Every structure is written in C-alpha cells, then in structure tokens.
Amino acid sequence: MIATVKHRTKNYPIDLTKPLDISIVIKNGADNVNAWYVDPPTITPHEEKGFVGKVSEGASINFNDISFNPHAHGTHTECVGHITEEFHSINKNLKKYFFLSEVITIAPEMFDNDLVVSKKQLKYALGNKKREAVVIRTLPNMRQKKSRQYAHTNPPYLTQEATEFLVEKGVEHLLVDLPSVDKEKDNGALVSHKAFWNFEGKLRKQATITEFVYVANAIEDGTYILNLQVAPFENDASPSRPVLYRVIQNKPVQK
C-alpha cells in the first residue's frame, strides 16, 4: 500500500507494507536492556486471594502485572518535562506522528577520555539537509545493544555543541541508540538535554528525545518518513515504537 506524506511543499511516497521498526522491546528478566542502576523489568501473573492470572496454572485468562521504568528499560520518548520542575506530559506535547527524518551512522570519537558524537561529525553526516527528525546509529552496531547492561559503563553521548547544532538546523525529534544524549555521570548537568529543549529560554515543548533505539545494519543511511508513536501515559516519558518508512525515490528528494 503506497501512501503519501506531505512535508512543506513536497510529497513523499512511502510503502506502508514495509515498516522498519527501530524499537527495543521491554521484556521480563535480566536480559532486558538496562540503565540507571535499577532492577530489571518484571512481567508476572497477578496474584490475589488464591487467584493466579495464568491460564497454564488454571486461570481462564492471562492477567499480568508489569513493572518497569521507561527511562531505563527499552525504547522510550521523552519531553521537556524530563528536566523541568513544572509537569509536562509526552502524551500531550507530542501532537504529530509523521516526520521527515534522516538516518545517519557515526563512530563516536574520543574527547576528554570519553566517546562522544561531535558537532563536526553531525555536520559531515547531515550536510545541508533539513530534517524534522534525526536518527543516530552509533558504531559498533551489534545486536547486543538490545540487551546490554549500561550501568557504570560510561557509554557515548552527544556534546553540547553537537546538540546545539541540531537545534540550529531545526531538528525537533532526536533519536539515538544510546541510554542518554548526556554523559552517564555528569553531576546532573544534563547539558545536551537542556540545549535540545532550550532550557534557559522559551522551552521547545514540541521537541522530543527518543533513546534506546536499535537501527539494524540492514537499514541504510538516508531519508525516511518516521512514524513516532508513544503509549499514552501522562508522564514525562513513555515507551515508544518509532517506525521508519523508506521514501520511494521516483524523484530526487529536495534538500
């Protein structure tokens, strides 16, 4: 099924039968991807007064309780409410769901004993392209990203200058295959989060950051239409399922 997504003055045809899901699932147990020093998520049958919500144990239905943290356990999308004293909900701030996006692959470089995504790298990867959303795949890109335990590993992050560059280019939706756009242990500085949401000025309430995506190696760098959907939690962040659709290139894409 071919659909057309309009961005500004150009139409972008996509094939809805060929979605590219870049989310990481939340599953029960310790092999779930994890960060921020919390216990693994749990998905267990509800028990109450002798009732066990599991068909294999005699119940008529499966009836599970689920405990997880959206920031720590799988793909999630967050809004400015993640860092503000005032409450802001991703469910209310994300009001559009299809975006012209660019997938780029970057090998983080050394900076001050850390691995970072730099402004120079982003400028090279994006050039003059104007995109609503940018999806950053970092190298090495192994399937272990789906179950890695990130606590105390100092994973790569974006420099403040890199994030400011994306804001200057008009990027409103940033997706990364990392646990955070900021350094794991930064004493609460959160410089990239603050830069992306313009924390010191007029808040970019419409802007979102999605962390813990997984972009398979078979997905080529290039232009896509992103469908970004979140579970409707009234919270600063929610589990999400970003899906990419290749743009059918019957005509050159305008930059």
Per-residue pLDDT of the chain (255 residues; tens, 9 = 90+): 888 888 888 899 999 999 999 999 999 999 999 999 999 999 999 999 999 999 999 999 999 999 999 999 999 999 999 999 999 999 999 999 999 999 999 999 999 999 999 999 999 999 999 999 999 999 999 999 999 999 999 999 999 999 999 999 999 999 999 999 999 999 999 999 999 999 999 999 999 999 999 999 999 999 999 999 999 999 999 999 999 999 998 654 454
Residue with tokens 């659909």: 3
Residue 106: C-alpha distances to residues 125, 126, 153, 244 (Å): 8, 11, 19, 19
DSSP string, 1-15: -EEEEEETTEEEEEE
* 184, two tokens: 């794991």
Name the fold adopted by 2-33+70-246: Glucose Oxidase; domain 1 (3.50.30)
Alpha-carbon distance 224 to 227, whole Å?
A: 10
Residue 211's beta-bridge partner residues?
Answer: 76
DSSP at 102: E
Q: Which residues contact 251 (CB under 8 A, 6 or more apart)?
A: none
Residue 192: C-alpha distances to residues 80, 85, 109 (Å): 12, 18, 17
Nearest to 134 by CA among 193, 83, 177, 93: 177
Residue 243 in contact with residue 22, Cβ under 8 Å? yes
Element (H, E) at 248: none
Work out whether strand 222-230 and strand 157-158 pair parallel, antiparallel, or are unpaired: unpaired
Amino acid at 45: P
Alpha-carbon distance 209 to 135, whole Å?
A: 10
DSSP at 56: G
